[in-house]
Amino acid sequence: MTRVIHTGDTHLGYRQYHLPERREDFLDAFRQVAADAVADDVDAVVHAGDLFHDRRPGLSDLLGAQSVLERLDDAGIPFLAVVGNHETKRESQWLDLFEATGLATRLGDEPVVVGDAAFYGLDFVPRSRRDDLDYEFAPHDADHAALVSHGLFEPLVPDYGNVEWDAAEVLAAATVDFDTMLLGDEHAPTRQAVDGKWVTYCGSTERASADERDERGYNIVEFDGVSDGEVHVARRGIETREFVFLELELAEGEGFDRVRRRLRERTVEDAVVHVELSGDGEAVSAARVEEFADDEGALVARVTDRREVDEEADTDVVFADPDEAVRERVRELGLSEAARDLDETIRAGEVADANVADEVERRVGELLEEPAAFDAAADPDPETVADRLDGGDGDDPEGSTDTDADDGVDADASTTDVDSDGRTTDGETSAERPTDDNGTDPSVGAAADDGADTSADATADDGAAGDDQASMEDYL
């Protein structure tokens, strides 16, 4: 029997809520998965992409990843991985660096056999290039074969018009008869039998958005040591930073005091607190709630007020996150890629003030060679522009002291909240699709405004790390 951990969507380097603590949390989660792998002595760790949150991880993120991979390597546990959409670079990938140092194996169309199973990889492929895929894989002589990939596959992820990658079609087209698909990209863990084979998402290991309420964890996949034997998929949770979700419907006359009372009933110390308000009650200042949560020791608090704001009312406008408010407004303007790129160059502060004029001139020169960049924001694949403009392997975008005009601009900055899968930042779409934002997405929890009782507070701290083992038979 061969037993592997299937993980993915680690998002190392994500400084969620602009907090270094959150960046550390994402690395901690990866450490936990590796520690479990070592304690359990699994045969391999299979990573389904998005090890890094973006394609310019900082040096500390790379060193963090390396230290975890070294731990696996010391225990003799191979790390087999594919490249996800968040971390894709143009040519060589970060994964190649780890492969070169012997700490990882990049999966592809040749089998990598571990015990009874042959593993193959299919990196994230943008929709525009999927028609070119031939799904040709070299043969193997193991008892089982698994395809590891990154993307939103039907039917596990319903097609909202931006999926168009069908697991059944991939399985049918592949030249190898796969027993299972081990996937990343969808951050909610899920599994489904497709043509009698398990197709499964392991889910993210830290909450990359406030939509990700359930316990985080990973999959344990077992391959029976006989031909035509079964593939078992089980799930195990890990401990992550506590998130407190408080959904509160304020009745007439109720306001901040009720919010404060309800927060006092919860343990908010060191937690990420999300408060969502609805109902007919009084206006509540987000800043006041955040201040209170801060006094109670919360790591960070975010308030979403779903109530219609009376334009005539005498209200102070307070933004929980002014940067996000500006980004949102810029998105609403529907600017072309070129305009957004220049806006970032000028405003986002990655370029030293003294270099802005030169940098803008250089960017305009580049943009003129890409007329499509001037189209209005209908382009469903904003990263393509970022790719075109990526002058190569730039420095850590957070290196704000960087004054080198060649790499000082983070081409990603204007697309922070956009997946290259065509998920947009538009409120309606993101209500359906989880986005990797910093939790201030106005659509977060949109399904909760049905007037349901406010006692349905979701909490993330209740799940013991249990296995829910299920075999293929249970589902067929």
Going from the C-alpha of 304 to that of each of 175, 210, 323, 343, the distances in angstroms are 49, 11, 16, 27
155-158-163-164 Cα dihedral, nearest 10 degrees: 50
What number of other Cβ atoms are within 10 A of residue 145's Cβ? 21
Among 9, 247, 417, 421, binds Mn ion (CB under 5 A): 9
Minimum distance from residue 207 beta carbon to Mn ion (Å)? 12
Q: Tell me: does residue 350 bind Mn ion (CB under 5 A).
A: no
Minimum distance from residue 114 beta carbon to Mn ion (Å)? 24
Nearer to Mn ion, 86 or 274 (CB): 86
Nearer to Mn ion, 36 or 54 (CB): 54
Beta bridge partners of 248: 277
Of 41, 10, 7, 45, residue with least CA distance to 218:
7
Going from the C-alpha of 32 to that of each of 39, 44, 387, the distances in angstroms are 10, 15, 33
Residue 274 is among the residues annotated as catalytic for this protein = no
x/- contact string, 34-73, with Mn ion (CB under 5 A)? ----------------x-----------------------
Residue reference for tokens 């999927």: 130
Let me know: does 125 contact 135? Beta carbons within 8 Å: no
Minimum distance from residue 419 beta carbon to Mn ion (Å)? 8
Nearer to Mn ion, 229 or 380 (CB): 380
Burial of 222 (0-12, 13-18, 19+ CB in 10 A): buried
Q: Is 389 helix (H, G, I), strand (E, B) or coil?
A: helix
Residues 152-181 that bind Mn ion (CB under 5 A): none
Residue reference for tokens 């005009």: 405
Minimum distance from residue 204 beta carbon to Mn ion (Å)? 6
Size of the site for Mn ion (CB under 5 A): 2
Nearer to Mn ion, 189 or 408 (CB): 189
What number of other Cβ atoms are within 10 A of residue 265's Cβ? 9
CA distance 408 to 349: 10
Residue reference for tokens 């990598």: 112
Minimum distance from residue 212 beta carbon to Mn ion (Å)? 10
Of 52, 127, 23, residue with least CA distance to 423:
127
Q: What are phi and psi of 473, to 5 degrees?
A: -60, -35
Instruction: Indicate the residue whose CB is closest to Mn ion.
Output: 50
Q: What are phi and psi of 247, to 5 degrees?
A: -105, 120
CA distance 46 to 63: 20
Nearer to Mn ion, 144 or 423 (CB): 423
Minimum distance from residue 253 beta carbon to Mn ion (Å)? 43
Catalytic residue among 6, 47, 86, 150: 86
Nearer to Mn ion, 72 or 183 (CB): 183
Q: Which of the 8 DSSP states describes residue 145? A: E
Let me know: does 135 contact 181? Beta carbons within 8 Å: no
Minimum distance from residue 150 beta carbon to Mn ion (Å)? 8
Nearer to Mn ion, 9 or 383 (CB): 9
Residue reference for tokens 């520690």: 35
Q: Which of the 8 DSSP states describes residue 307? A: S
Let me know: does 275 contact 248? Beta carbons within 8 Å: yes
Q: Is 417 helix (H, G, I), strand (E, B) or coil?
A: coil
Of 343, 299, 250, 341, residue with least CA distance to 438:
299
CA distance 277 to 298: 18
Nearer to Mn ion, 205 or 384 (CB): 205
CA distance 8 to 123: 12
Minimum distance from residue 132 beta carbon to Mn ion (Å)? 23
Let me know: does 154 contact 177? Beta carbons within 8 Å: no
Nearer to Mn ion, 205 or 454 (CB): 205
Minimum distance from residue 187 beta carbon to Mn ion (Å)? 6
Binding residues for Mn ion, per CB under 5 A? 9, 50
Residues known to be catalytic: 86
